[in-house]
Chains A and B, each alone.
Chain A
């Protein structure tokens, strides 16, 4: 049978070319692989969920109670054998995919892997992170319980706050003022079709560019096989490793997904007129934290009657500035020679210290999301955010200089 296909498709040539492709080996590459495993898990568990979910807010009678159809269908999913566990695995995988994509980005940042010739893949990676967050956010609204409906309402508010195009963006995504009868079908379509398709295309491009440009390698490879790609072939070594790692990933996620059922909607109940006080999911709390500590009545007038309000500044403009800096990074931090090997973080103290300061900023702005519970004023929180970011920079920078010394001149020349 193989020969039959081989005569028609020349599979031997394909195998010779692709199955012998060298995969560099280093544990830090697994963080990106974890994001990929999470995506595969999301697609598989997502197919099961779409078979049983009803994207509608029409009211249906369940055990004498009138409930939105979307909410009732998630209760039905939870009642199926393993249904709640699979939904939980889906939710945890979405969360892990965002965390893995973010930590993967930090790994690229800290090892300088965004530099020439890998700038394109850095931009594609940033787009992937954005798409991952958008896909997770749209999925969050689908159970249409009190918690998710309120959190999605916050997202709707952020969408409408964008000057000039906000109303239009919200109309396209939510089909009117959230929640309307069109909201859930629209968000469902984005969540199960358009965003996953975009994610698949972007992920495919990310891998294709990576395969073409070759992976950055651990530094020791410079001595073992200079100028060549040192690694294990796709078949069988890498295929074995990826299968083992995927099974390990699934094992951990099933342990966690079964032990803690994510988003137990029966606890929250269907949406009610009395909106409960909710915070967004963890990956957006830092944005929520910024909104908590900037004045709520900011209104900066723009031409043609548009206004830039606090919601836009806190949740779109400030994250947007961070995104812009990330886009410009490969042009700001360049090198003259082609980058083949991962740079050691201890040989680039400024970049490493900035990365840790960015982490401190994100952690402290996340903490600001609990402003009310912490009992701190906006001024105190600003002082903590700015102070801890600066302090982290100084501590990391001087710790590296003290322990590993100043970087040798050849490292600086390469940069």
Chain B
């Protein structure tokens, strides 16, 4: 709560791993009781994976914010570092994005005309595309966008 550090996001990731491990062991226990792997998640597993996902997202976002915005803001305009290699990385990620998007379109066409593809593949492919887009924006913001920090008057007229 003191500053935008990476301590709580680290514990967020740690909690995510703990929740997912609990869900995994819960699944093993239920499968042992039933005598076979179950086709669906139990209510408990669903809750554990949900909290695991929430804390994972929070942890990742916390680290991203720490990397992009730092742990403390200082008023003023801070110019971006403009790195050549950051530009190369963005270009590479854009090429990967185009390739993945092409694969996504092919997947939809195959699914509509031939038959279903694995749900896991479809979900992860979409996930990779979104992750790639996030990475492009992150690098662009870090290396090519000047950081502006303002100290607004507490009694500003926004929104009234």
By a beta-carbon cutoff of 8 Å, the part of chain A in contact with chain B is 17-18, 20-22, 25-28, 30-31, 33-34, 79, 81-82, 84-85, 88-89, 92, 95-96, 98-100, 103, 111, 208, 211-212, 214, 218-221, 224-225, 227-233, 236-237, 240-241, 243-245, 247-264, 267-268, 279-283, 285, 340, 342-345, 366, 370
Q: Are A26 and B127 in contact (CB under 8 A)?
A: no
Q: Of A21, A82, A99, A225, which contacts B111 at CB under 8 A?
A: A82
A-B contact pairs, 20 of them (CB 8 A): A27-B4, A27-B8, A30-B58, A33-B61, A211-B158, A211-B159, A224-B72, A224-B151, A228-B151, A229-B156, A231-B150, A240-B145, A244-B134, A251-B131, A253-B53, A257-B123, A268-B40, A279-B43, A281-B47, A342-B1
A-B CB proximity, top 6 nearest: A258-B123, A282-B47, A27-B62, A81-B111, A247-B134, A22-B152
Q: Is B50 a contact partner of A232 (Cβ separation < 8 A)?
A: no
**CB of A106 to closest CB in B, whole Å:** 12
Interface residue from A100, A254, A366 paired with B130 (Cβ < 8 Å): A254
How many A-B residue pairs have C-beta atoms within 8 angstroms? Tell me: 231
Complex interface: chain B residues within 8 A of A99 (CB): 50-51, 54
A249 touches B120 (CB 8 A): no
Please determine whether B57 and A249 come into contact, CB atoms closer than 8 angstroms: yes
Chain A residues lying within 8 Å of B3, measured Cβ to Cβ, are 26, 218-220
Q: How far is the CA of A351 from the CA of B3 in the complex (A)?
A: 21
Interface residue from A17, A230, A252 paired with B151 (Cβ < 8 Å): A230
Q: Cα distance A85–B122 when bound, in Å?
A: 7
Across-interface contacts of A17 in B (CB, < 8 A): 157-158
Find the A residue at minimum CB distance from B111: A81
- A98-B51 Cα distance, complex, nearest whole Å: 10
Structural contact, B75 and A225, CB atoms closer than 8 A? yes
Q: Is the CB of A280 within 8 A of B43?
A: yes
**Chain A contacts of B39 at CB under 8 A?**
264, 267
Task: For chain B, residues 103 to 160, give those with C-beta under 8 angstroms from any C-beta of chain A.
Answer: 107-108, 111-112, 116, 119-124, 126-128, 130-131, 133-134, 137-138, 141, 145, 147-154, 156-160
What is the CA–CA distance of A89 and B46 in the complex, to the nearest angstrom?
13
Main secondary structure of the interface of A (DSSP, over half): helix
Across the interface, do B148 and A232 meet the contact criterion of CB distance under 8 Å? Answer: yes
Minimal beta-carbon separation of A38 from chain B (angstroms): 9
State in angstroms the CA–CA spacing of A33 and B68 once bound together. Answer: 17
CA distance A261 to B112 in the complex (A): 19
Q: A233–B130 contact, CB under 8 A?
A: no
Chain A residue, CB-CB nearest to B75: A225
Residue B21 lies at the interface, judged by CB distance under 8 Å to chain A? no
B79: interface (CB < 8 Å): no
B53 — which chain A residues lie within 8 A by C-beta? 92, 96, 252-253, 256
Min CB gap B123→A, angstroms: 1
Asked if residues A345 and B49 are in contact (CB atoms below 8 Å), the reply is no
A27, A236, A245: most-surrounded residue (chain B CB, <10 A): A27
- Is there an interface contact between B54 and A281, defined as CB atoms closer than 8 Å? no
**Does B54 lie within 8 Å of A96, measured CB to CB?**
yes
Task: Tell whether, in the assembled complex, residue B152 and residue A85 are in contact, meaning their CB atoms are under 8 Å apart.
Answer: no
Bound: A260/B2 CA distance, A: 37
Say yes or no: B147 contacts A237, CB within 8 Å. yes
Given contacts A82-B111, A264-B39, contact A224 B75 (CB under 8 A): yes
User: Is A231 touching B152 in the complex (CB atoms < 8 A)?
Assistant: yes
CB–CB A232/B150 < 8 A = yes
